[in-house]
Amino acid sequence: MKTKKSLLILFLFVASNSYAQVQFGDWFEKKSLRVDFALSGNSEYQQAALQQMREEPVWGGPVKNLIDTFYYGGYYVNLYDKAGKQLIYSRGFNTLFEEWRSTEQAKNETQSWTNSISVPFPKKETVLEITGRDRSDMQFYTLMTLDIDPSSIFIDRGKLKENAVTQIRYKGEPASKVDLVFIAEGYTAEEEKKFEADAGKFAESLFNTPPFDTRRDDFNVWAVALASEESGTDVSGKGVFKNTALNAGYYTFGVSRYLTTPDMKSIRDAVWNVPCDAIFILVNTDMYGGGGMYNFYAMGTSDNARTPVVFVHEFGHSFAGLADEYFSSEVAYDEAFYNLEKEPWEPNITTLIDFGSKWKNLLPANTPIPTPLNDTCKDKPGVYEGGGYLPKGIYRPMDHCMMRDFAPFCPVCSRAVLRMINFLTDKSY
């Protein structure tokens, strides 16, 4: 691992010096290179291996903001020039596999999961790197590097299934908009109209929620009516199994309300021809639950009365990298989910190790740190103990927030959401 540190230093050097000079047209075509890769390992280690590369016909991501300086997530994809010197594209993301590594099961089993990322399609030979964050020091280390020849015969350039794609709203050129894509899960072909109506309903609930309400025109919304053989979803803890397009289910890591799918390949296959900055998978059931991982996907259910807020909460995770601010609920992670000796990467929690990098500049003057939950402080931004599944050692910005108990987003979460909208719409962030 020692040699990897020099790469990190190189990365930081490159990142701080030259990314402003990257011109999209010099390096990329407005298409995507999709890279599917396996992450395998357990609680102790992980490794990455290539599964397939595909050329896909659209690029909906930014064309100016090519370098992601949020440093959110457990992973980064970096593209360098052929010599490996100039960073020309980067983006952070998280995976469900990374969460699984925090579970009890990962102490006893080694597993391999498919993941997938898309980058703008390079015009010339480049080097692609996937890095993973080591929770012991929170730094990124190389998991995989690939020399990419854009003319290679090993890149699949074929079409995939053309699903029915509806434009729920179109506000302009995808590169300068957030392209939010709803994908149907557990809807049969006969339920296509229901799916489109459901997607429209939840898009509306998002745009009625501050701060998204101020930025409605920055979003395009698409709906991919992927048809499933059966209606509904798996509830494995109750012996219910449905044949559905994305293999979603409850009881993720044994938690009854935690609804996810590990099937990233099917998700990416569903959006191969749609501009895509953010994915929301809509599961056709009335049960309560959902899930969301940063720059991966969010998932929620169509017919539960609480879904409009669950949807916004899960989207907070997947879109803006927000952490859960609650600390008294059943989760599957052991206490190692956050390393209390280090500052977590999520913008809305802190261990106070490096609070200056978080929301110190949003605190009213003379706010005590940590902040007591008394009448003077409790409705203002502060540093309140409890968050990130732990009652002690992790702090949240407000007593109540969408990321704790479906209250309005706190000012810290709102700022993070707005910054991400700016990033994805090529504005300064």
User: 143 vs 401, which CB is nearer to Zn ion?
Assistant: 401
Quickly count: other Cβ atoms within 10 Å of residue 109's Cβ.
11
> In the complex, what is the shortest distance from the CB of residue 153 to Zn ion, in angstroms, rounded to a whole number?
49
> In the complex, what is the shortest distance from the CB of residue 395 to Zn ion, in angstroms, rounded to a whole number?
11
User: 39 vs 403, which CB is nearer to Zn ion?
Assistant: 403
> In the complex, what is the shortest distance from the CB of residue 355 to Zn ion, in angstroms, rounded to a whole number?
15
> In the complex, what is the shortest distance from the CB of residue 348 to Zn ion, in angstroms, rounded to a whole number?
5
- The structure tokens listed for 391 are 């009652």
Strand order in 290-293's β-sheet?
Answer: 164-169, 219-225, 178-185, 278-283, 297-301, 290-293
Q: Whole-angstrom Cα distance, residue 320 to residue 200?
A: 21
Residue written as tokens 């609480």?
306
> In the complex, what is the shortest distance from the CB of residue 156 to Zn ion, in angstroms, rounded to a whole number?
41
> In the complex, what is the shortest distance from the CB of residue 53 to Zn ion, in angstroms, rounded to a whole number?
38
- The structure tokens listed for 320 are 């803006």
Residue written as tokens 């501009």?
275
> In the complex, what is the shortest distance from the CB of residue 248 to Zn ion, in angstroms, rounded to a whole number?
27
User: 260 vs 348, which CB is nearer to Zn ion?
Assistant: 348
> In the complex, what is the shortest distance from the CB of residue 413 to Zn ion, in angstroms, rounded to a whole number?
3
* Strand extents, DSSP E, 123-231: 126-134, 139-148, 155-156, 164-169, 178-185, 219-225
- Terminus-to-terminus CA distance in the chain, angstroms? 33
Residue 214 makes CB contacts below 8 A (sequence gap 6+) with none
- The structure tokens listed for 330 are 């059943």
Residues near Zn ion, by CB under 5 A: 348, 401, 403, 410, 413
Residue 192 φ/ψ, nearest 5 degrees:
-60, -40
Beta-bridge partners for 156: 54
Q: Are 188 and 228 in contact (CB under 8 A)?
A: yes
> In the complex, what is the shortest distance from the CB of residue 320 to Zn ion, in angstroms, rounded to a whole number?
10
User: 232 vs 290, which CB is nearer to Zn ion?
Assistant: 290
Q: Whole-angstrom Cα distance, residue 351 to residue 113?
A: 30
User: 130 vs 413, which CB is nearer to Zn ion?
Assistant: 413
Q: Are 130 and 76 in contact (CB under 8 A)?
A: yes
User: 168 vs 410, which CB is nearer to Zn ion?
Assistant: 410
Q: What is the DSSP letter of 407?
A: P
3-state secondary structure of 337: helix
User: 132 vs 347, which CB is nearer to Zn ion?
Assistant: 347
Residue written as tokens 């899930």?
291
Q: Whole-angstrom Cα distance, residue 387 to residue 427?
A: 31
